[in-house]
Amino acid sequence: MPVSAAASAREILTRLHDVMAARTTAQMKLNSVVAIIGEAIHSEVCSIYLLREGVLELYATRGLDQGAVHVTKLALGEGLVGTIAQRVEVLNLDEAASHPDFAYKPETGEDRFHSFAGVPIIRRERAVGVLAVQHTDRRRYADVEIEALQTVAMVLSELIANAGLIDATGGGTDRPQSTAAMRIPGQKLVDGMGAGYAVFHQPRIHIEHTVAEDIDAERHRVYAAFDKMREGIDRMTREAEFGVGGEHEEVLATYKMFAYDEGWARRINEAIDSGLTAEAAIERVQQRTRQRMRQIDDPLLADRMHDLEDLSNRLIRIVSGQMGTAAQVGLRQDTILIARNLGPAELLEYDRRRLKGVVLEEGSLTAHVTIVARAMGVPVLGRVRDVRRLIAEGDLLLLDVSDGTVFARPNSGIEESFEARLALRQKRKAAFAALRDVPPVTKDGHRLTLMVNAGLRDDVAALDVTGADGIGLFRTEFQFLVSATLPQRERQQRLYREVLDVAGDRPVIFRTVDIGGDKALPYLHKTDAEEENPAMGWRALRLGLERDGLMKVQARALLEAASGRTLNVMFPMVSEPWEFDEARALFEDQRAWMNRRGRQMPIEIRYGAMLEVPALAEQLDILLPRIQFLSIGTNDLTQFLFAADRANPKLAERYDWLSPSILRFLARVVGPTRAAGVDLAVCGEMGGRPLEAMALIGLGIDRLSITPAAVGPIKAMVRSLDRSAVTSFMTGLLADPPRDMRGALTDWALQNGVELT
């Protein structure tokens, strides 16, 4: 008996290497494999079952009756072999017949054998076959033998894939329902429906070769990959730009712990010693870990498992040089993108015409990736637990965000009902589109102003599609996010001019760049110091005033683009009035400079500020005389009021826009702003939700800048609303807030015929 798993597997792999390379048929190769394995581990029987058309078929055997080959077939879950494939689990039994799942197959002549061990042959986390050994003695196989079988099963997976023997219907899996239709719930981030095929943002890696030619070379490859991976993780820790939101520390600490885990590195080395390539060794260790973890039912451990999976994938990616995301590889038509999380820039790399939806394991309502997706018109379902495990690349998916679900591998019944809902949705959309030229006037005759948020060149088309009154927030940083390098003045100017051209008489409010937070630019190194909390860090105007070169360039681009027209400029993240003054002064200096050179100027510049840092509200009386308009950014405002990171999925449902704190805060801003004759708008995501918008109107806010898709529903709501009635209702509600504000507002809306969908 061989002394170690590595030696045992290596002996087999060395012999298998020649079999793999031989120019013979797949069947002959499998016949050789069972002979080699049976001999090497002194087992009387060695058999290979492959999944064909959803059934496990005996493909090759040494020891069982040859007449059973291609005759013996087991369904998934049937008998020991079917159980192994279905559960993707190892069985090691000294008396096979006493196992409850044992199914006797007389044609095999297996009644002579008592002990039985089987391991799944895995491809992309699914079982595509089973490798089994049997013996007449009653004995359990030793761990080293099982290890050797599992290693061989990896090689077999390569062999059968290369020979085209992989079953097109997929395999039994670690999740029993995986080939069946499955409804997976998540959180609604960007409403919409879409059908398409699953594409992983970070594609699964295809391991081309499993058997090493040169073990030393493989060892060196894995050492180098470890170095590179650890370097990358150290860099992330230093720059604190990894991931989004306040989980940095925890995530990085775990990553670092795993990345430097000597036990992990040692196990990979042992797998290489057994004759596997570096990629196959990493995958082999990962399979083993997956298997162990599956036996432990602990959500915390499951989270850690994701980290380890990520790290393992990262290592394989480095070692195999398959580094790109799906965006670089090129998308198929009708893609539903699957990712743990995405940055806004990462999402913008995708061709929006091919993207039918995004499904994230994390994500939150006001994270910038969500806002970008909304701008792109791509539905997003977030917080879908385990999605990367439950869905396989290429699975057909039906995404219905309004229902909070994604259907994987739907059957025709599900498809039909999806189509029906889609048709209904289109109908509703058409009804909203019909409101395009209808003004947003309340039942009691108040004309509100409905504008759209935009940021990409193509978004501007939404003005005509929706019939909006203008662009209330143009997020200029989106151009920076989609560019590989800092956009030069001419490029900025061109974009702004194009936007103004399309808008014509309708106003456009350009917000100066809001870089930082979760909108990190890879080419702009913000600071040497780590930012533990970038959303509250050196971002937006704070960065702009200090890096004034950047802001001056933008000021000139805007002034040039708006020559002969009105320019509306808005500054983000103003915390104190002097910041506004400085920003305005910077623009005025540029105006004077250009004036001296005889350049044509805007006929008027209107300056405004965003109210998103609560501190500013305390100095509103000082700010108001200096500005022409104020726009409340409820996305940031809420996160700061509640001290709840907007990008942190754990806090996504923690606060409510309809909480008395927010509504009372807003109510306090409305009075003085109106009295000062300053235009007041809300441009956060809150304004795009009918119930929330109703509450805002009740507070006296009559300008909303919202996502284009929300214009129809909000207009419909406005037209069904009596403004004075909601105002008096809100006054009472805020004086004595009920515990369930949302419930109270919903009830009132229903009783008063307000259209909320």
Write out the residues near ligand PEP by the rule CB under 6 A. Answer: 371, 473, 475, 514, 612, 633-636, 683-684
Q: Quote the CA–CA distance of 229 and 260 in Å, as a whole number.
A: 10
Nearer Cβ to Mg ion (158/636): 636
* Cα-based distances in Å from 86 to 126, 170, 437: 9, 11, 58
Q: Are strands 126-135 and 115-123 parallel, antiparallel or unpaired?
A: antiparallel
Binding residue for Mg ion (CB under 5 A) from 309, 636, 692, 702? 636
CB of 368 to ligand PEP, least distance (A): 7
Running DSSP on this structure, what letter comes out for residue 487? P
Q: Is position 683 annotated as part of the catalytic site?
A: yes
**30 close to 59: Cβ distance less than 8 angstroms:** yes
Nearer Cβ to Mg ion (410/516): 516
Nearer Cβ to Mg ion (83/638): 638
Q: Quote the CA–CA distance of 363 and 259 in Å, as a whole number.
A: 25
Nearer Cβ to Mg ion (515/710): 515
| Tokens of residue 549, six digits | 């070169």
440 binds, among ligand PEP, Mg ion, none (CB under 5 to 8 A by kind): none
* Cα-based distances in Å from 281 to 58, 185, 260, 318: 27, 34, 17, 14
| Tokens of residue 659, six digits | 């909480």
Give residue for tokens 């899996």. Answer: 173
Nearer Cβ to ligand PEP (159/613): 613
CB of 340 to Mg ion, least distance (A): 24
Q: Which stretch binds Mg ion (CB under 5 A): 139-147, 290-298, 323-331, 604-612?
A: 604-612
CB of 119 to ligand PEP, least distance (A): 51
371 binds, among ligand PEP, Mg ion, none (CB under 5 to 8 A by kind): ligand PEP
Q: Quote the CA–CA distance of 555 and 584 in Å, as a whole number.
A: 10
Nearer Cβ to Mg ion (186/633): 633
CB of 681 to ligand PEP, least distance (A): 10
| Tokens of residue 219, six digits | 């060892």
Nearer Cβ to ligand PEP (31/635): 635
Q: What does the per-residue mask of binding to Mg ion show for 611-630, with x meaning CB under 5 A?
A: -x------------------
Question: Residues binding Mg ion: what is the number (CB under 5 A)?
Answer: 3
Binding residue for Mg ion (CB under 5 A) from 357, 633, 687, 708? 633
Nearer Cβ to Mg ion (2/344): 344
The three-point CA angle 702-708-713 to 5° equals 65
CB of 382 to Mg ion, least distance (A): 19
**472 close to 511: Cβ distance less than 8 angstroms:** no
Q: Quote the CA–CA distance of 61 and 453 in Å, as a whole number.
A: 66
45 binds, among Mg ion, ligand PEP, none (CB under 5 to 8 A by kind): none
Cα of 44 vs its chain's centroid, Å: 49
* Helix, strand or coil, per DSSP, at residue 499: helix
Q: Which stretch binds Mg ion (CB under 5 A): 99-107, 363-371, 468-476, 606-614?
A: 606-614
Nearer Cβ to ligand PEP (469/514): 514
* Helix, strand or coil, per DSSP, at residue 489: helix
Cα of 655 vs its chain's centroid, Å: 22
359 binds, among ligand PEP, Mg ion, none (CB under 5 to 8 A by kind): none
Q: Is position 209 annotated as part of the catalytic site?
A: no
CB of 682 to ligand PEP, least distance (A): 8
Distant-in-sequence, close-in-space partners of 278: CB < 8 Å, separation ≥ 6? 212, 218, 219, 221, 222, 225, 268, 272, 319
CB of 367 to Mg ion, least distance (A): 12
| Signed CA dihedral, 630, 631, 636, 641: sign only | positive
Q: Which stretch binds Mg ion (CB under 5 A): 435-443, 490-498, 634-642, 721-729?
A: 634-642
**Residue sitting closest to ligand PEP (CB):** 633
Nearer Cβ to ligand PEP (108/476): 476
Strand partners, 73: 57
Q: Secondary structure of the chain: what % helix, strand, coil (to 5)?
A: 50, 15, 35
Question: What is the helix (H) or strand (E) element at residue 732, kind and residue range?
Answer: helix 723-735
Nearer Cβ to Mg ion (284/539): 539
- Among candidate residues 114, 368, 446, 525, the one labeled active-site is 368
Nearer Cβ to ligand PEP (607/640): 640
CB of 708 to ligand PEP, least distance (A): 14
Residue 48 CB-half CA count within 13 A: 31
Q: How many residues does the chain have?
A: 757
| Tokens of residue 239, six digits | 């720059």
- Neighbouring C-beta atoms of residue 600, cutoff 10 Å: 12
**519 close to 244: Cβ distance less than 8 angstroms:** no
174 binds, among Mg ion, ligand PEP, none (CB under 5 to 8 A by kind): none
Q: Quote the CA–CA distance of 317 and 326 in Å, as a whole number.
A: 13
Residues in region 503-522 near Mg ion by CB under 5 A: none
CB of 635 to ligand PEP, least distance (A): 3
**131 close to 118: Cβ distance less than 8 angstroms:** yes
502 binds, among ligand PEP, Mg ion, none (CB under 5 to 8 A by kind): none
Amino acid letter for position 510: F
- Among candidate residues 46, 114, 201, 683, the one labeled active-site is 683
634 binds, among Mg ion, ligand PEP, none (CB under 5 to 8 A by kind): ligand PEP
CB of 507 to ligand PEP, least distance (A): 17
| Tokens of residue 95, six digits | 């008396």
Nearer Cβ to ligand PEP (170/507): 507
The three-point CA angle 410-413-419 to 5° equals 85
Q: 3-state secondary structure string, 168-211?
A: CCCCEECCHHHHCCEEEECEEEECCEEEEEEEECCCCCCCCCCE
- Binding flag, residue 477, Mg ion (CB under 5 A): no
The terminus-to-terminus CA distance of the chain in angstroms comes to 71
**Residue sitting closest to Mg ion (CB):** 636
**156 close to 48: Cβ distance less than 8 angstroms:** yes
Q: Which stretch binds Mg ion (CB under 5 A): 15-23, 29-37, 631-639, 690-698?
A: 631-639
Q: Quote the CA–CA distance of 504 and 497 in Å, as a whole number.
A: 10
CB of 589 to Mg ion, least distance (A): 26
Distant-in-sequence, close-in-space partners of 413: CB < 8 Å, separation ≥ 6? none
Q: Quote the CA–CA distance of 244 and 239 in Å, as a whole number.
A: 13
684 binds, among ligand PEP, Mg ion, none (CB under 5 to 8 A by kind): ligand PEP
CB of 571 to ligand PEP, least distance (A): 12
C-alpha dihedral over 475, 480, 486, 489, to 10 degrees?
A: -40
475 binds, among ligand PEP, Mg ion, none (CB under 5 to 8 A by kind): ligand PEP
Q: Which stretch binds Mg ion (CB under 5 A): 159-167, 190-198, 401-409, 635-643?
A: 635-643
Q: How many helices (H) and strands (E) does the chain have?
A: 28, 23
CB of 580 to Mg ion, least distance (A): 15
User: What are the residue numbers of the active site?
Assistant: 368, 683
Q: Which residues bind Mg ion (CB under 5 A)?
A: 612, 633, 636
